[in-house]
Chains A and B, each alone.
Chain A
Amino acid sequence: MTVVLTKDGRGRAEQAPPQPPRRHRLNRLDAKVSPYLFVAPFFVLFGAIGLFPLLYTAYVSLFDWEVGADEPAFIGLDNYRTLVEDGQFWNALFNTFSIFVLSSAPQIVIAVAIAALLNENLRARTGWRMGVLLPYVASLVALTIIFGNLFGPQYGLVNNVLSAVGISPIDWQAETFGSHAAIASMVNWRWTGYNALIVLAAMQAIPREVHEAALVDGAGPLRRFFSITLPMLKPTLIFVVVTSTIGGLQIFTEPKLFEPSGGSGGGTEHQYQTVVLYLYQSGFQQLDLGYASAIAWVLFLIVIAVAGLNFLVTRRAVR
Chain B
Amino acid sequence: MRHRWVSVLICAAVSAAATTACGSGGASQSADGQTELTIATFNEFGYEDLLKEYEAAHPDVKITQRKTGQGQPHHQNLFTKLGAGSGLADVEGVEEGYLSQVMSKAGQFNDLGEIGPKIEDGRWLKWKTEAMTTKDGKLIGYGTDIGPLAMCYRKDLFAQAGLPSDPEGVKALFSTWDSYFAAGDQFVAKVPGVAWFDSAAQVFNAMHNQHETGYYDKSDKLVVDTNPDIKSDWTAVTAAVAKGQSARLAAFSNEWNTGFKLGKFATKTCPSWMLGVVESQAGPENKGKWAVTDAFPDGGGNWGGSYLTVPKQSKNAKKAAELAAWLTAPEQQIKAFKAKGTFPSQVKALDAPELLEQTNAYFGDVKAGALFATQAKKVKAAQYKGPADGQIQETVFSPALQSVEQGKNAEEAWRTAVEGAQKAAK
Contacts and interface: CB of A to CB of B under 8 A. Distances in A.
Interface stretch (B127-135, B151-159, B176-184, B392-400): B392-400
A172 B196 CA distance: 24
Interface stretch (B78-86, B117-125, B323-331): B78-86
Contacts of B76: 284
Contacts of B406: 171, 173-174, 268
A52 interface: yes
Contact of B252 (A154, A173, A261, A287): A261
Interface in A64-113: 66-70
B19 interface: no
Interface in B360-419: 391, 394-395, 398-400, 402-403, 406-408, 416
Interface string A284-314: 1111000000000000000000000000000
Contact of B13 (A44, A264, A287): A44
B395 A68 contact: no
Nearest to B264: A154
Contact of B6 (A36, A66, A173): A36
B108 interface: yes
Nearest to B253: A260
Given A171-B406, A263-B394, A286-B391, A69 B399 contact: no
B239 interface: no
A174 B400 CA distance: 12
Interface in B265-298: none
B115 interface: no
Nearest to A287: B79
A247 interface: no
A149 B254 CA distance: 7
A149 B9 CA distance: 50
Interface residues of A, number: 41
B31 interface: no
Contacts of B16: 48
B395 A261 contact: no
Contacts of A38: none
Contacts of A265: 395, 399
Contacts of B107: 70
Contacts of A48: 13-14, 16-17
Contact of B399 (A52, A67, A156, A268): A268
B83 A261 contact: no
A173 B254 CA distance: 13
Contacts of B402: 261, 268
B13 A260 contact: no
B365 to A, nearest CB: 32
Main secondary structure of the interface of B (DSSP, over half): helix
A36 B400 contact: no
A161 B243 CA distance: 28
A67 B102 CA distance: 12
A48 B15 CA distance: 10
Interface string A33-50: 100100010011101110
B351 interface: no
Contact of B416 (A66, A173, A269, A284): A269
A48 B19 CA distance: 13
A144 B254 CA distance: 13
Interface string A159-188: 000000000000101100000000000000
Contacts of A156: 255
B424 interface: yes
A26 to B, nearest CB: 15
A268 B14 contact: no
B64 to A, nearest CB: 24
A148 B254 contact: yes
Contact of A68 (B10, B17, B79, B258): B79
A122 to B, nearest CB: 39
A240 B150 CA distance: 57
B105 interface: yes
Given A149-B254, A269-B416, A68 B399 contact: no
Nearest to A175: B406
A262 interface: yes
18 contacts: A33-B5, A36-B5, A36-B6, A49-B17, A67-B82, A68-B79, A68-B82, A148-B254, A154-B249, A154-B255, A260-B256, A261-B251, A265-B399, A268-B403, A269-B403, A281-B395, A284-B76, A286-B395
Given A155-B259, A262-B253, 20 more contacts: A32-B1, A33-B5, A36-B2, A45-B13, A47-B13, A48-B17, A152-B258, A154-B258, A154-B259, A171-B406, A174-B406, A261-B250, A261-B251, A262-B252, A263-B398, A264-B395, A265-B399, A268-B400, A269-B403, A284-B76
Interface of B: 1-2, 5-6, 9-10, 12-14, 16-17, 76, 79-80, 82-83, 101, 105, 107-108, 248-256, 258-259, 262, 391, 394-395, 398-400, 402-403, 406-408, 416, 424
